[in-house]
Amino acid sequence: MWRGKLFAFGQDAKTIKSHGVIDTATGKPYAQAICYMAPADVSGGTTLCANAEIAGCKDLCLNYAGNGRYNSVQESRIRKALWFKQDQESFMLAMAQDVERFIKYCEKKGFIPVFRPNGTSDIRFERIRLQSWDGLNIFERFPSIQFLDYTKLWNRTKTALPKNYHLTWSYSEASSLYASQLKPVMEQGLNAAVVFEGELPNTFKGYPVINGDSHDLRFLDEKGVIVGLKPKGNRWRKLHNGFVIRKESTREKMIRWGLTTEKELRELENAV
Ligand code: SF4
């Protein structure tokens, strides 16, 4: 277990599972440190997740699963989010200090360090460049270290991302506009994570589905796949908004997206 000001390792299921993965080239286990902050507008003011509304993920966010059930954890995540909003430079300097400290910890233990800055946020860290780092962002500041994140921002990869920053786009059917981004995103070379109720299907929309819950090291995934995930926490059971893919018919989806109504469909069926 390791804890910095922003990142932590070994305190949740995701980092523990990723630690079970061995790098084939070095024979060393990966150690993934994640930074969890209060997502979207949970800390008040501006949002840290620009597409949370259109993706319908705010109320089903990982933020409320696992350790997120505890008030003390929520308070700590809110403090981090406010720190980021109020003093971005000192936040980024603290993030870099954590990265340096965790690299040293991993060197001593024989681990390969990996970082996920947006554990429960969707910040474009690639755009945050510090003068004190000669205009570099956090990824360029540590070019030999692997970073990864999930994102709901489908246009995030249109500008070149640093080679050591891997993104997986998170799919949702909360709106037809959001859902329609799947094909363009896959064509850009990104994988898409999809949350499924029940057993994972073999394929989804023509793409093969892999199990994304066996570990969280998404940069190891082959390209052109759907990363299948199980819903986390309990909130999803009551909220049917398209974020969790249910065994729902096309008819039910069209009604939920507001493309038609039950009445219109019945009239059409009677007319044929
Ligand atoms: S974008 Fe991600 S972190 Fe933000 S609210 Fe949605 S699921 Fe949570």
CA nearest ligand 1 atom 8, residue: 61
- Rounded mean pLDDT, 123-148: 97
Q: pTM of this prediction?
A: 0.89
Which of 5-14, 72-81, 177-186, 210-219 has the lowest average pLDDT? 5-14
Per-residue confidence band for 50, with pLDDT thresholds at 50, 70 and 90: very high
Q: Is the pLDDT of residue 250 over 80?
A: no
Amino acid at position 94, single letter: A
Which of 74-88, 133-147, 232-246 has the lowest average pLDDT? 232-246
- Say how many Å lie between the CA of residue 25 and the centre of ligand 1: 33
Structural contact between residues 40 and 34, judged by C-beta atoms closer than 8 angstroms: no
Residues lining ligand 1, Cβ inside 6 A: 39-40, 49, 52, 57-58, 61, 63, 120-122, 152
The percentage of residues in the chain with a pLDDT greater than 90, rounded to a whole number, is 71
Which of 200-204, 217-221, 245-249 has the lowest average pLDDT? 245-249
- Say how many Å lie between the CA of residue 38 and the centre of ligand 1: 9
For 6-158, where are the E strands, in sequence order?
Answer: 7-9, 30-35, 112-116, 146-151
Task: Count how many Cα atoms sit within 13 Å of the Cα of residue 41 in the half-sphere of its side chain.
Answer: 8
Using most ligand atoms within 8 A of CB, pick from 53, 61, 236 the residue to mutate for ligand 1.
61
Q: Is the pLDDT of residue 172 over 70?
A: yes
- Rounded mean pLDDT, 209-219: 95
Could you state, in order of their start, the residue ranges of all structural domains in the chain? Answer: 2-155+162-271
Using most ligand atoms within 8 A of CB, pick from 120, 232, 235 the residue to mutate for ligand 1.
120
Question: What's the confidence (pLDDT) of residue 248?
Answer: 66
Complete DSSP assignment for 131-184:
GGGTTB-HHHHSTTSEEEEEES-TTTTSSPPPTTEEEEEEP--SSHHHHTTHHH
How far is residue 227 from each of residues 6, 137, 201, 210, 235, measured CA to CA in Å? 27, 28, 11, 5, 21
In this structure, the strands spanning 192-196 and 112-116 are unpaired
* Environment class of 32 (CB within 10 Å of its CB; exposed 0-12, middle 13-18, buried 19+): buried
CA nearest ligand 1 atom 7, residue: 61
Average pLDDT, whole number, for the chain?
Answer: 92
- Say how many Å lie between the CA of residue 34 and the centre of ligand 1: 14
